């Protein structure tokens, strides 16, 4: 009964929540169909994602101890604990886990290893007779544009924001080369994406690597059974339908203080109610000390700036929330696409620039905040303008992006789409075992 045989996958995502979460979402889809997953994760990060493991009898977390590296603060486990500029230190720690990983893989004897930045796993897997699959949480659009920047017209600040991807730090392999090696040495590539949306980019990557490109479909967040915390549902419930602007830049992004201030001042200027979730900016211990003088008094009752974690999915689905301003991280993009919110993007690093261009120039479902070409600087006026452009009822652009977004949302949520993608993926994986 080869067609119904279950398999065992080791998942080994990069040490960042934006990678761990989509890996776990895919793990849930496999487990839902009876397949077994052993999930490598930094030891103390496990308790942050336990609640996302919906099939604990089939998905087992395998803790890794993040090795000590000079310059890496003790206790660092994921990119949430570290500024982006220090990522080479954590990459080095990732590479040093090989000693722990090899005996584990040997003992587990999985059929497949899904991995992303850990490029050396391909050699280990081949030696042990295991099929390695490069599973990228970077979109096909963003990855294709790494190899061929001509897909988009990047402005100087965007090119600069992407340049670290190709830089070797301390003589160590660059991001681009990690991805390229992973792609070249693995047995197949797998992307979180839909061919209806990103087909030409998948085709391009298939030709670059000359191997099978699998797609998972949208892998949407499971509908959460936890209701939104009362303090937020009560507060949001006090506003009109679709009127609140929600702004969040993910778990890693730290803004410069003056950009942080322009952002909140721009939201204030819109006159709309707003809820902001941001980390304190560079050089500040707390959000409060970084806010413009008297800001909280001025916006009392209609604006909140919050530093702690919030239930983003539930907030985006709250009827009062009508606009989502984000940094264009890949999870935020998927969450925004299946919400009814108008989408505004202010990308900050790496893949976000290409994803943003794809959303605003190709799919035309989002609007960008206007920025200075040389350094990406944005003003409160440009933040306010972008919000008004999508929120004013009379705005033509607002209507256009709403209509385009609606079309894609309907598609992504259409009955059976997600499960047929996963079923197809599983058939292709089983074919590889034959
Ligand atoms: C690993 O996690 C366990 C359980 O959370 C904890 O007791 C232990 O101290 C951790 N080990 C290290 C080296 O962090």
Please answer whether residues 18 and 331 qualify as being in contact, where contact means their C-beta atoms are separated by less than 8 angstroms.
yes
Q: What is the pLDDT of residues 180-190, one digit of tens each?
A: 999 999 999 99
**Lowest-confidence range among 62-71, 233-242, 349-358?**
349-358
Phi, psi of 401 (to 5 degrees): -65, -35
For the chain, percent of residues with pLDDT exceeding 70: 99
Q: DSSP 3-state assignment of 139? A: coil
Percentage above 90 pLDDT, the chain? 82
Is 70 an active-site residue?
no
pLDDT higher than 80, residue 107: yes
Find the radius of gyration of the CA atoms of the chain: 22
Of the candidates 107, 121, 127, 124, the residue with the CA atom closest to the CA atom of residue 11 = 121
Q: Give 1's pLDDT tier (boundaries 50, 70, 90).
A: very low
CA–CA dist 266, 297 (Å, integer): 16
Interval between CA 255 and ligand 1 midpoint (Å)? 32
Q: Which residue has the tokens 């197809």?
A: 424
Task: Say if residues 219 and 193 touch (Cβ distance below 8 Å).
Answer: no
List the one residue out of 220, 22, 25 whose CA is nearest residue 138.
Answer: 22
Tell me if 43 CB under 6 Å of ligand 1.
yes
User: Tens digit of pLDDT for each residue in 219-252?
Assistant: 887 777 789 999 999 999 999 999 999 999 988 8
pLDDT digits (tens, 9 = 90+) for 418-430: 999 999 999 999 9
Does ligand 1 lie within 6 Å of residue 65's CB atom?
yes
Please list, residue by residue across 197-234, b when 16 or more beta carbons sit within 10 angstroms of its beta carbon and e when fewer do: bbeebbebbeebbeeebbbbbbbbbeeeeeebeeebee
Alpha helices in 279-342 (DSSP H): 287-290, 295-299, 312-316, 330-337
CA 30 to ligand 1 centroid distance, Å: 28
Per DSSP, what are the bridge partners of residue 134?
A: 115, 189
| Nearest Cα residue to atom 1 of ligand 1 | 43
Question: What confidence tens digit (pLDDT) does each residue in 163-179 have?
Answer: 777 777 777 788 888 98
pLDDT number for residue 165: 77
The pLDDT of residue 236 is 98
Catalytic, 392? Answer no
- How far is the CA of 92 from the CAs of 11, 119, 169, 186, in angstroms? 19, 12, 10, 21
**Interstrand relation of 8-12 and 112-115 (parallel, antiparallel or unpaired):** parallel
pLDDT bin (cut points 50, 70, 90) of residue 162 is confident
Strand partners, 39: 11, 61
Mean pLDDT of 58-73: 96
Domain 8-220+415-432 class, CATH top level:
alpha beta
Cα-to-centroid distance, 45 and ligand 1 (Å): 10
Separation of 44 CA from ligand 1 center, angstroms?
6
Nearest CA to ligand 1 atom 13: 65
Dihedral of the alpha carbons of 101, 122, 6, 221, in degrees to the nearest 10: 80
Residue 137: HSE in the Cβ half-sphere, 13 Å Cα cutoff: 28
* 65 Cα nearest atom in ligand 1: 13
Determine the distance separating the centroid of ligand 1 and the alpha carbon of 147, expressed in angstroms.
Answer: 40
CB 46 within 8 A of CB 79: no
Supply 365's token pair: 């479902």
What are the Cα distances from residue 415, in Å, to 19, 194, 376, 412, 419?
Answer: 26, 15, 40, 9, 9
Whole-prediction pTM: 0.90
Quote the pLDDT of residue 87.
Answer: 87
Residue 53, SS3 per DSSP: coil
Average pLDDT along the chain? 93
Reply yes or no on whether the pLDDT at 2 is more than 50. no
Per-residue pLDDT averaged across 9-29, rounded? 95
Which mutation among 15, 40, 41, 43 tests ligand 1's pocket best, with the greatest number of atoms within 8 A of CB?
A: 43
Q: Which of 15, 40, 44 to mutate to test the pocket of ligand 1 (most atoms within 8 A of CB)?
A: 44
| Shortest-distance Cα residue to atom 5 of ligand 1 | 44
Answer whether residue 374 shows pLDDT above 70. Answer: yes
Ligand 1 in reach of 68 Cβ (< 6 A)? no
Mean pLDDT of 258-265: 97
Rounded CA-CA distance 79/252 in Å is: 7
CA of residue 21 relative to chain centroid, distance: 8
pLDDT over 80 (residue 79) = yes
Q: Give the confidence band of 4 by pLDDT, cuts at 50, 70, 90.
A: low
Contact 9, 113 (CB under 8 A): yes
Sign of the dihedral through C-alpha 32, 33, 36, 38: negative
User: Which atom in ligand 1 lies closest to the alpha carbon of residue 46?
Assistant: 5
- What residue ranges do the domains of the chain occupy? 8-220+415-432, 230-412
Q: How many CA atoms lie within 13 A of 98 on its CB side?
A: 13
* Higher-pLDDT residue of 85, 339: 339
pLDDT, tens digit, for every residue of 375-406? 999 999 999 999 999 999 999 999 999 999 99
Q: Are 75 and 81 in contact (CB under 8 A)?
A: yes
Task: Please check whether the domain covering 230-412 is classified as CATH 3.40.190.10.
Answer: no
Mean pLDDT score, 283-306: 95
């Amino acid at each position: 009964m080869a067609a119904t045989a279950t398999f065992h996958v080791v998942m080994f995502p990069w040490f960042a929540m934006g990678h761990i979460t989509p890996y776990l979402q895919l793990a849930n889809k496999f487990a839902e169909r009876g397949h077994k997953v052993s999930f490598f994760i930094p030891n103390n990060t496990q308790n942050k994602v336990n609640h996302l493991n919906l099939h604990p009898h089939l998905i087992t977390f395998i803790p890794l101890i993040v090795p000590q590296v000079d310059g890496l603060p003790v206790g660092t486990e994921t990119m949430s604990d570290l500024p982006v500029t220090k990522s080479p230190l954590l990459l080095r720690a990732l590479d040093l886990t090989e000693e722990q990983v090899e005996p584990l893989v040997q003992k587990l004897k999985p059929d497949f290893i899904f991995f992303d930045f850990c490029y050396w796993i391909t050699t280990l897997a081949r030696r042990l007779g295991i099929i390695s699959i490069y599973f990228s949480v970077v979109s096909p659009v963003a990855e294709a544009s790494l190899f061929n920047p001509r897909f988009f017209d990047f402005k100087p600040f965007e090119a600069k924001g992407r340049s670290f991807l190709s830089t070797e730090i301390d003589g160590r392999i660059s991001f681009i080369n990690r991805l390229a090696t992973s792609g070249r040495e693995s047995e197949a590539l797998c992307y979180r994406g839909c061919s209806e949306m990103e087909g030409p980019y998948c085709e391009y990557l298939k030709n670059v690597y000359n191997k099978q490109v699998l797609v998972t479909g949208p892998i949407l967040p499971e509908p959460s059974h936890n209701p939104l915390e009362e303090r937020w549902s009560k507060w949001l419930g006090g506003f009109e339908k679709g009127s609140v602007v929600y702004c969040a830049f993910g778990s890693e992004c730290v803004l410069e203080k003056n950009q942080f201030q322009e952002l909140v001042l721009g939201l204030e200027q819109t006159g709309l109610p707003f809820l902001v979730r941001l980390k304190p900016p560079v050089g500040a211990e707390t959000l409060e000390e970084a806010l413009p003088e008297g800001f909280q008094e001025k916006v009392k009752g209609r604006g909140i700036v919050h530093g702690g974690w919030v239930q983003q999915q539930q907030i985006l689905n709250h009827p009062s929330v009508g606009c989502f301003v984000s940094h264009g991280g890949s999870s935020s993009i998927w969450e925004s696409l299946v919400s009814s919110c108008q989408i505004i993007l202010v990308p900050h690093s790496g893949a976000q620039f290409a994803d943003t261009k794809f959303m605003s120039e190709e799919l035309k479902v989002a609007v960008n905040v206007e920025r200075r070409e040389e350094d990406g600087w944005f003003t409160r006026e440009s933040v306010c303008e972008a919000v008004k452009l999508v929120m004013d009822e009379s705005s033509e652009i607002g209507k256009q992006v709403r209509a385009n977004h609606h079309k894609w949302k309907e598609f992504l949520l259409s009955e059976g789409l997600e499960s047929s993608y996963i079923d197809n993926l599983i058939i292709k994986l089983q074919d590889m075992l034959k």
